[in-house]
Structure 1
Amino acid sequence: MRFSDAALAACLLIASMPVLAADDETATRLSSDQCEISTPYNVLVDTGGVWLYRDSGTPKEIFFHDGTLSVDRAVQTVSTADAARLRKLESGARTLMPQVTSVARESTDLAFDALAGVVEVMTGSARKVRQVERHRAATLGYIDTTLGTGRWDQDVFGEGFESRIEDAAERMTGSLGRSVMWQVFTGRAGRMDARAERMEADLDRKIEARSAALQAQADVLCTHVRELQSIQAALEYRLAGQRLVMLEDAPRSDGDASVSRTSLKP
């Protein structure tokens, strides 16, 4: 049985837990540096304002709402121009969080759609496909109780999120292996081949179309993140003579000199 490149890429997408695939050779994780911009903070956006907080580093907590700024729980004096910029940052954060949630949900759906398709091709079992749906529901529920409530913690799309997709893939991989071996030894491999021929082209088209749409959605999100970084860069406020940096260029991973993840820059 042969799976085409797009279907195979989808299987690898699930197994290695990336969430965006622009083509067969490119996969991108949904993370705080998805847009080549990073934050060392956890973030909470709710009706009371925007909180950025972390366990170590200086400052440890930043809060802004309606043009006011607090750093490490001390209210700061800001200019009228900076108050306007802070309002734009707050408004942008409120717009951004639902966008991130939408990308997370769609990428999760794409991964589980691909997994469900592979399961159906290889087993023809509605019961096993329903197992995939249970994993999907649990992962979407996790997203809704984190990002969906305006909370981005560094581990939301680290171990916490990835473990859910990894667990589903590992559980289904074991089940698929047993099913394939059973079909081979019982002379039912031909049925599996017939299902693959019937379904793989449709599966490929769906995965490719949704991957392209998801990439476009992520590109829009990244544009908004860069706009927020530009507003931040225009802030006149200084903390101990240093700029206040909540968003920064992501550290380089090409083996060259690393970029420091400090929160204060000159």
Structure 2
Amino acid sequence: MDERPAPDWLGDVTLGVEAWAGKAPSPSVEPSPPSVEPSPPSVEPSPPSVEPSSRRRSDDESKPTRSRRRKPRPADPADPKNDPEPDHEAIARKILLDALTGQARSRKELADKLEKKEVPAALATRLLDRFEEVGLIDDEAFARAWIASRQPGKGLARRALAQELRRKGIDDDVARDALDEIDPDDEREAGRRMVRRKLRSLERFDDQTKTRRLVGMLARKGYGAGVAYSIVREELSLADDDGAGGLVPESDL
């Protein structure tokens, strides 16, 4: 068995560690490895768990995003506020044509609509005159059509019809000419029909109460007191074989 000379650092722990670390000159005889196991190599920490999500976020950012805002509604061409340089005449003409679609209008009604839309007064007057020239506005025809629809259907008398035409802006002379076309017999017959219908709901009342209520109804429809009382008396006479007993004197109505 070969005997090798002992290294200089043998027995000295400090020298042995330095020699093992390479700080002391290596001996001629290779030292045996130290009994202390070397510490395991440091392991690089794994990347944080938030990295995948951040990677996905960066990937998402690279993709084009879609706007979730609603598309604006198309502007109303009839509203002057939606056009920096609106064509007032075209807008006003459209307002008039829309208003006249499906029904006749008086000039006053159309003028009110233009004023509400802030159409300049001079332009409104010029267009209204033009519409009258071509027959699209005709207060006389409007008054006759209004009477023809309201007098038989609603049973309105001349006085009530005159008030409605005045509210529509119809001139008094124009309204009077149209009202003169009403046949007095037609007006009276319309009142009689209303009284007959109303009598069905007044059967439990005495003649005096019936008279007051029926005459009041006719008065609200524009009938004068004398005409209303006459109509009611005739209808009660037809409905009651005993005649007109219990009628309220005309002076008390």
Same fold (TM over 0.5): no
The two structures have a TM-score, normalised by structure 2, of 0.25
Instruction: Looking at secondary structure, tell me which structure has more strand per residue.
Output: 1
The two structures have a TM-score, normalised by structure 1, of 0.24
